[in-house]
Amino acid sequence: MGKKKQKIILPPELPPEIPDDEVEVSDEDLQFVKENLGYASLLSSLDTHSITKHVTRVADAKDDALEELYEKRLRKNALKKEKEETGLQVDRVDALPIKALDGTLHYRTATKAVSENDPSEEGTGEDISKEHGIVKLTKAEKRAKLKKMKKEEKKQGKVVAKAEVEETPQAAVLAEVKEDLTAEEAFENKKCKLAELGNALLTDPESNIKFLKEMVQISRDNDPTIVKLGLLSLLAVFKDIIPGYRIRLPTEKELEMKVSKIVRKMRYYESTLLSAYKAYLQRLVILEKKPSFQLVAVRCICSLLDAHPHFNFRESLLDATVRNICSTNEAIRKICCSTIKSLFTNEGKHGGETTVEAVRLIADHVKANNCQLHPDSIDVFLSLAFDEDLVKSKKIEEDQKLKNKKGKKRKNMEASNQLVENDRKKSRQEMISKTRDEVEADYKAASFALDVMEKRQMQTETLSAVFETYFRILKHTMQSIGARPEANPGLLSASVESFPLLAPCLNGLAKFSHLIDLDFMGDLMNHLKVLASGSSNSGNSSDKCSKCLTVSERLQCCIVAFKVMRNNLDALNVDLQDFFVHLYNLVLEYRPGRDQGEVLAETFKIMLCDDKQHDMQKTAAFIKRLATFSLSIGSADSMAALVTVRHLLQKNVKCRNLLENDIGGGSVSGTVPKYQPYSTDPNLSGALASVLWELNLLSRHYHPAISTMASGISTMNTAHNQVILTKSSPQQAFKEMSLDQQLCFTQSGSLKLNNKKRRMNGPASSSSPTVTTSFDDNELHRKLNSHFMLLHDIKENERLRKELDWTALSLQLYEQYKKQKRRSKPSK
């Protein structure tokens, strides 16, 4: 094959050069340029000076001057080459060249520093000096020159050091700014990472279960904010992905067995979840002891326990929650108490097992701390709900079991006989019903519903732990009172600190009194008598109880005793007369600002209003004591006492002789012929020989409800058993007459304020079921004015007496001074 000839492609020819004078520009070209000036903006930015600098030809120059111009240019180039030769050229590998417009390459150079110590440089310097005729330096001159050079170098070094010192603050600030920027970037990256991992786990937990370990690792960061975010993120993830059953890891034998891919995947998922959950709980337990992370850690622990009380490691969560149930931090204490109450009320989540464990842990916690805990740790027992149907005797259950066995045998016999008889005549419907029964039986056997016996056993364990705690608190209180020396009666604050669990213990006994075993009733009533300032073997026990316990706690003991007695009325035969004596004496020790009025009102209702047995001497004594008590207390307590007085007078018609004042006193009845106001026994007070003169003062009370009630009671004897429609019970009276209800002036109950229109139209009609009490504003203003004027006079009298005492003391001192002055004159 021959070679093909290659075609040579020539470049296009250039257009002929035309002089500028001959170039003609048309109007269209000018118009085009004007319209498109933006495209010619590049020409305005060109550096014409640098372009014309490298042009070799010289325009507008005469022929004679061209040679001189070229000579000057050559001289300049020669000077440049000499300067470049004195410098040290940089290696072409280390630096790129610079290309000029004319196409030449220029390499960068650096000045060459000649060191005097270098022998090679010294020789070259001597040769140069010889060529130029310079005199050679001697050794002494060289030494002096070296000294000068060293001094200059030292000075330059100091200047450089100063410059560095001046630059250090700026460098430090820049370094700090850089660190802050990097820390913020790292913080944002960690936050985004937590969000991504959490979202992936919530979206598909089975495929992304390995991300749990990364989240646990992030929660161990040094930044406290990242730690809190990590804990809360893990809390949200675990609450969502934890299954509704306890995870049991496979044994070694089960791991050796060959299983399917689905089972292998499920095992990996459960093991990874359980290991991460364990690491998370260990982290929470460690952080729960640190003050800065305690609130977040406790919140996570309580949330997990409340959401999944059935899952693994429940004991650790429950232990941490009970340990913080008496914390000094109010927020932590409320979170733990609400979690425990939720466990008690929602037993469907755990079947009652967690309730038993929690009650047992609280009982052990009370025992370990010697009953010195916050009252909230025992108040949670009030949220317990017991099934009274399960509290039955063993005999009834055994009889029921026997009946059930006999019924089953009879049904089986009947079924077998029917099968034998109808063996050949089975229908399809009978077969379907039989299989349906079998399926229901298997379903009940496989279900997780607790048996009645298991429920009863768990309830018994819970009750035993609760009453064990209550009796331990009572026993500790008795021992503390017996071992304590006599204290100042005025220091009642110490008693509250010494027995913080007594009040919630009494409330719990009052609520669960119907579930207490009868074997413990006798001991319980004896303890309550002693705590209510009753008599015991030691002579000073009553005084110690009165000094150590508050009036409210002693009243609660009376309330519990009456509730226990009424719930077990058939089985108990206890005399409650001692508790009436305690109440009769405690009324005088009550102080409105110090003690609880709600407890006093409840005591009046349970012991006096609800009592069916009314002894005339005892009733008259309480009527007289409560009427006297109403004169020195607030409006709410006074209303509760007057309601009780009205109730006692309505039930005991003979006690209305106290309202008669025609002969100068009531009719004397009984063995006591004279009234003894300081008697400690209501049966020996002789109250029937007295008169309720207190009602006359109370009818002028500044509060209209009190005055109306007192006036109605004083006219009860002449009204022939008229029912005064006011407050239904002492508790309701105290509640409606309390300070917050009084400030709101709400028209509730039977106390209603009539407006000006009603006063103009007259009193309300008596046909309404509730009797409304109306009063005049002017009358109220007059009563209040007289009341406060009396107080003002008392205060003014006290002030004047102090001034009089001070003046008398000053005069006495002045007389003593004059006597001493007279005695000192003859000695001089």
Note the pLDDT of residue 751. Answer: 40
Cα separation, 570 vs 112, in Å, equals 122
682 and 613, same structural domain? yes
Res 297 pLDDT > 50: yes
| Token reading at 682 | 């209501």
Q: How far apart are the first and last CA of the chain?
A: 166
Most trustworthy range by pLDDT among 13-27, 227-241, 735-749, 774-788: 227-241
Note the pLDDT of residue 771. Answer: 36
730 and 674, same structural domain? yes
Neighbour-count burial of 187, counting CB atoms closer than 10 A to its CB (0-12 exposed, 13-18 middle, 19+ buried)? middle
Asked if the structure places residue 7 within a domain, the reply is no
pTM above 0.85, yes or no: no
**Confidence at 683, pLDDT banded by 50, 70, 90:** confident
Residue 105's DSSP bridge partners are 99
In contact, 380 and 341? CB cutoff 8 Å: yes
Backbone φ, ψ for residue 715 (5° rounding): -100, 15
**Across residues 61-90, what is the average pLDDT?**
66
Asked if the structure places residue 163 within a domain, the reply is no
538 and 460, same structural domain? yes
631 and 503, same structural domain? no
Res 509 pLDDT > 50: yes
Domain of 590 in residue numbering reads as 575-747
Residue type, position 553, single letter: E
Most trustworthy range by pLDDT among 399-408, 611-620, 711-720: 611-620
545 and 476, same structural domain? yes
In contact, 707 and 700? CB cutoff 8 Å: yes
| Token reading at 315 | 């004991």
Nearest to 354 by CA among 448, 222, 461, 446: 461
In contact, 538 and 545? CB cutoff 8 Å: no
Helices (H) and strands (E) in the chain, counts: 33, 4
pLDDT in tens, 298-327: 999 999 999 999 888 999 999 999 999 988
**Confidence at 178, pLDDT banded by 50, 70, 90:** low
**The last residue of a domain, from among 237, 270, 304:** 304
Q: What percent of the chain has pLDDT over 90?
A: 15
Q: What percent of the chain has pLDDT over 70?
A: 66
**Across residues 797-808, what is the average pLDDT?**
87
Instruction: Tell me the three state secondary structure of residue 533.
Output: coil
Asked if the structure places residue 27 within a domain, the reply is no
284 and 376, same structural domain? no
Residue with tokens 């014409």: 48
Average pLDDT over the chain reads 75
**Confidence at 533, pLDDT banded by 50, 70, 90:** confident
Asked if the structure places residue 337 within a domain, the reply is yes
Cα separation, 754 vs 776, in Å, equals 9
pLDDT in tens, 474-493: 888 888 876 665 544 444 44
In contact, 555 and 583? CB cutoff 8 Å: yes
Residue 662 vs residue 566, higher pLDDT = 566
Asked if the structure places residue 589 within a domain, the reply is yes
Residue with tokens 């209305």: 656
Residue 751 makes CB contacts below 8 A (sequence gap 6+) with: 704, 705, 736, 772, 773
In contact, 207 and 265? CB cutoff 8 Å: no
- In the chain, what's the furthest Cα-to-Cα distance? 169
Residue 88's DSSP bridge partners are 110
Note the pLDDT of residue 64. Answer: 67
Neighbour-count burial of 301, counting CB atoms closer than 10 A to its CB (0-12 exposed, 13-18 middle, 19+ buried)? buried
Neighbour-count burial of 646, counting CB atoms closer than 10 A to its CB (0-12 exposed, 13-18 middle, 19+ buried)? buried
Asked if the structure places residue 19 within a domain, the reply is no
**Across residues 203-220, what is the average pLDDT?**
89
Find the radius of gyration of the CA atoms of the chain: 53
**Confidence at 76, pLDDT banded by 50, 70, 90:** confident
In contact, 766 and 640? CB cutoff 8 Å: no
Q: For residue 133, is it left (φ>0), alpha (ψ between -120 and 50) or beta?
A: left
601 and 471, same structural domain? no
Q: For the CA atoms of 331, 333, 336, 338, what is the dihedral angle to 10 degrees?
A: -80
Reduced DSSP (H G I as helix, E B as strand, rest coil) percent helix, strand, coil of the chain, to 5: 65, 0, 30
Residue 43 vs residue 619, higher pLDDT = 619
Cα separation, 732 vs 820, in Å, equals 70
Asked if the structure places residue 227 within a domain, the reply is yes
Note the pLDDT of residue 460. Answer: 86
217 and 293, same structural domain? yes
Output the CA angle 625-627-628, nearest 5 degrees: 65
Nearest to 277 by CA among 244, 235, 315, 224: 235
788 and 700, same structural domain? no
Cα separation, 776 vs 752, in Å, equals 13
Output the CA angle 103-109-111, nearest 5 degrees: 155
605 and 474, same structural domain? no
Side-chain half-sphere exposure of 568, counting CA atoms within 13 A: 22
**Across residues 24-42, what is the average pLDDT?**
79
Q: What letters, b where the CB count within 10 A reaches 16 and e where it falls short, cover 560-595?
A: bbbbbbebeeeeeebebebbbbbbbbbbeebeeeeb
Residue with tokens 């005492």: 805
| Token reading at 537 | 């073997």
Residue 415 vs residue 724, higher pLDDT = 415
Residue with tokens 């109808």: 422
pLDDT in tens, 321-334: 999 998 888 999 99
| Token reading at 162 | 């100063």
Note the pLDDT of residue 392. Answer: 53
Nearest to 375 by CA among 600, 552, 543, 589: 552
Q: Structural domain tally of the chain? A: 4
Residue 827 vs residue 218, higher pLDDT = 218
Res 623 pLDDT > 60: yes
469 and 587, same structural domain? no
Asked if the structure places residue 486 within a domain, the reply is yes
Residue 746 vs residue 298, higher pLDDT = 298
DSSP 232: H
Res 601 pLDDT > 80: yes
Secondary element (H or E) of residue 88: strand 87-89
330 and 299, same structural domain? no
